[in-house]
Structure 1
C-alpha cells in the first residue's frame, strides 16, 4: 500500500520490513547496511519526517540527513539523564546477544492501546490515543520484561517524563529530538 500524503516514518534497527502501517505513521525495521536505502524508499513514498531509533547513532543520522537533503525533518531518539545507566545496560546486554524486547509507543488518536497494538518477539508497537494516556499504557506493559521504551510520532518530552514516572524509573525511556 502506498501512502500518498506526508507521514512520519520510524526507522529502527531490527527485523526488516514494515511492522506498523497507519495513515500518519509507518514503522520499518532494517539492518544497518540497508538504512539509507530504506530511508530513501520511505521519503519516496511521501515521508516528511524520519524518526530514527535509539540504536542508530549520530554518524548514521548525519548520513541519513546527507542522503535525504533539507526537505525532510530528521529526528533521532535520545535518552534523558535518568535513563543513561539503564540504556547502557541494555546496550551491553544486546551486544552480548541478550536482546530484551522494546516497546515503541506512538501517538495515534482513535486507536486503542490494547486492541490495536502489534506484538512481536523482539518488540511491541503500541498506539497511544493521546499523550495523557502514557501512564496507563506503560503500566499495561509492565509484565513484558521490557528493555526499553521509545516514543515516536509526536510523543515528546512531557510524554517521556510521564513514561519515566509510570515505569518507576526502571525502564530507559527515549524520545525523538529533531535536527531543526
Structure 2
C-alpha cells in the first residue's frame, strides 16, 4: 500500500481543510496543510488519523511541546514527525527566530522528498502576509534535495526537509548550504 502523509505548518489566515500542495503518484500521496494556530493542529491531526492518513510531519515552528501533544493525540496509531535543528544550525535558527519575531520578511523552503516527485510541477510558492515566501517543492530523492537547496540557498533564511528517515538523509542538504549558513531542519519521528 502506498504512503498517505500530511505535512502541517502554521500560517496566518490558513484553512486546515484545504491542501496547499498535493504530490500524488504510484509512491503514494503527500499533502501540505496549514493551520492558523497550534490548537488547530491537534484537531487536524486527530481528523487526519480518523481519515486514514498513515504519517504526519510537523513544521519546526510548532516546537517540542506541540509535537508531544500531537503524539499523544494520535495514541500511537501513526508516526508523528517534527522538524528539529542540529547543533550546526542553532546560531542561524536563533537569528531566524529573532528576525521573525521582529516582523522581518523572511523566505524559506520546505523541500519534500517523495519518490517520483517532479520539482518543476510539484511546487507552490506561498506569499506570506508579513512579506517573504514559503516555497514548497517536491523532489524525488535526497540527491535532488541537496542540489535544489544549493541553488536556492542565497535567497533563503531557512530550509525544512520533509519525507526523509532522519539526519543521515539530510546530511547532503546541510552540506549543500553550509557556505550560505542556512539552517536546515531535519525530521524526527515519534510513535
TM-score per shorter chain, which class? 0.7 to 0.9
Distance in structure 1 (CA, Å) of the matches to 2:159 and 2:81: 16
Gap runs ≥5 in structure 1: none
Q: TM-score, normalised by structure 2?
A: 0.83
Task: Give runs of aligned pairs for residues 21-100 of structure 1, distance below 5 A.
Answer: 21-23=22-24, 24-31=29-36, 32-100=38-106
Gap runs ≥5 in structure 2: 128-132
State the shift of 1:138 in Å: 1.0
State the shift of 1:161 in Å: 1.5
Count of residues in correspondence between the two structures: 176
Q: Is the 8 A contact 2:81 2:188 kept in 1?
A: yes
Deviates more, 1:42-51 or 1:150-159: 150-159
Q: TM-score, normalised by structure 1?
A: 0.88
Are residue 19 (structure 1) and residue 8 (structure 2) matched? no
Distance in structure 2 (CA, Å) of the matches to 1:131 and 1:100: 24
Correspondence for 2:172: 162
Match of residue 123, structure 1, among 129, 134, 139: 134
Correspondence for 1:7: 4
Distance in structure 1 (CA, Å) of the matches to 2:117 and 2:2: 20
